[in-house]
């Protein structure tokens, strides 16, 4: 079966950096767009960033643009989210998700989801 496993979350001070990883199994990874979403306590899940199946195209939420970068390594079935200059408002559980072919910011279009990794940014 399909599994997406996130890692790399943790506690960091404001201004710090983290790199999240999401490794996929049970699917043809190179054929899937990979998205990152996050959900803070008491809030709805929101789009963070996405990378298309080739890795040549990305989209990023305005709230993290210039600070977060998405990338992928199809040989390792892994997508990354490099997060720099973290802010307390970035505190959330971060999820990766997969859908075939075209990328989208619409969370409902994604077929597969990981369990999430917690990111906590202290001020």
> pLDDT tens digits for 24-43?
999 999 999 999 999 999 99
Q: Which pLDDT band, with edges at 50, 70 and 90, does 69 fall under?
A: very high
What token pair was written down for 67? 């600070």
User: What's the order of all strands across the beta sheet hosting 78-83?
Assistant: 3-7, 18-25, 78-83, 68-73
Question: pLDDT averaged over the chain?
Answer: 97
φ and ψ of 32, to 5 deg: -115, 135
Helices (H) and strands (E) in the chain, counts: 0, 11
* Residue range 103-117: mean pLDDT, rounded: 97
* Residue range 70-78: mean pLDDT, rounded: 97
Percentage of the residues of the chain whose pLDDT score is greater than 90: 98
* Residue range 90-114: mean pLDDT, rounded: 97
Please report the pLDDT score of residue 63 as a whole number: 96
Please report the pLDDT score of residue 73 as a whole number: 97
How, if at all, do strands 117-122 and 18-25 pair? unpaired
């Amino acid at each position: 079966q399909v599994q997406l496993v996130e890692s790399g979350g943790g506690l960091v001070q404001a201004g710090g950096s983290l790199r999240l990883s999401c490794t996929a199994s049970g699917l043809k990874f190179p054929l899937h767009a990979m998205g990152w979403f996050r959900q803070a306590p008491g809030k709805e899940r929101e789009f963070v960033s996405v990378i298309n199946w080739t890795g040549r195209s990305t989209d990023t939420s305005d709230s993290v643009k210039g600070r977060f970068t998405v990338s992928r390594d199809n040989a390792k079935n892994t997508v990354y989210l490099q997060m720099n200059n973290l802010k307390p408002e970035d505190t959330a559980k971060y999820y990766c998700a997969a859908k075939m072919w075209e990328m989208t910011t619409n969370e409902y279009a994604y077929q597969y989801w990981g369990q999430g990794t917690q990111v906590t940014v202290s001020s």
